[in-house]
Amino acid sequence: MDTALLVFAKVPRPGAVKTRLTPALSPANAARLYTAFLRDTLRAVRPLEMAVRLYVAPPLPENGFDGLPNDVSLHAQSGDGLGGRMRTAFADTLRAGYDRALLLGTDHPTLPVPFLKQAEHALETPEALCLGPTEDGGFYLVGMSAYYPQLFEDMSYSHPQVFSDTLARADRTNARLTILPPWYDVDTPSDLTRMLADLDQGTADAPNTRRIANQLELAALL
C-alpha cells in the first residue's frame, strides 16, 4: 500500500509564525527559526518510504518555497478553520489513490523519527487511526487508513483539551486506534530552552535548527 505524509505548515513570514517566541526573538528571527523547523521536518521524513505532500496555509509565496526538495509536492490548504483544512487534505490525499495518510505539523523539529515509523506500521491495519499527543494537550500527528472526517467536524483548536476531544471522537468510530508516545511543541521560550538542551545532549537531530540557534545565539537570549 502507498502511504502519504502530509506536512502542515505556514509561510515563514515575520509576524505570522512563532509569535509566542516574541519578544524573546524578533519577528524576523522567529521566522528564520520556523524556516529551520520546516526544513528539519522535511529532512527527517525523507528517508521514510512515503510520498511527502506539503500543505501550506495561503497565500502561497509567488516564487514557491526556496529549497523545497523536488520530491515534495506543494499544496494550498483549503477549508474552513484548521479542522476543515485537515479534513480536506485527508480527503484529497485518499482520493488521489493513497491507502494511508499521516498528517504532521512543523512545531516539533526534534520529534523522534521512530514515532513516525510506529505510526506507519500502525496504519498497515485496515480502518486504523493513529494519534500523537503533545504535552500541552494538542496533537503532533494524525494518521488514518480509512477516512474519518468526524475527527475534524465542528472542532475547536488551540486549547488544552484538543487531544482529549479528538480521542473521544476517535473512540466513537470503528477504527483500530493507536496512541503514540507524547512529545512537545516548541511554542514558548521555555520550550525553546528544552529543545536546545535536547540538541546539546545529542538526543535530537535537527541540523538546520541547530545552525540557526547558533547564529541567533539563542542560549544567551533565554
Predicted confidence (pLDDT) per residue in 62-79, tens digit: 777 777 888 999 999 999
Q: How far apart are the first and last CA of the chain?
A: 46
E strand or H helix at 215: helix 207-216
| Model pTM score | 0.95
How many structural domains compose the chain?
1
Report the distance separating Cα 33 and Cα 212, nearest Å.
6
**Residue 203 — very low, low, confident or very high, per pLDDT cuts 50/70/90?**
confident
**CATH value at residue 175:** 3.90.550.10
Is the distance from CB of 172 to CB of 4 less than 8 angstroms? Answer: no
pLDDT in tens, 144-190: 999 999 999 999 998 999 999 999 999 999 899 999 999 999 999 99
Give the domain extent around 91: 3-221
Using the predicted structure, report yes or no on whether residue 202 has a pLDDT greater than 90: no
Residue 41 CA, distance from chain mean position: 8
Q: Which three cell numbers stand for residue 215?
A: 547564529
pLDDT above 70 coverage of the chain, percent:
100
Residue 146 is predicted with a pLDDT of 96
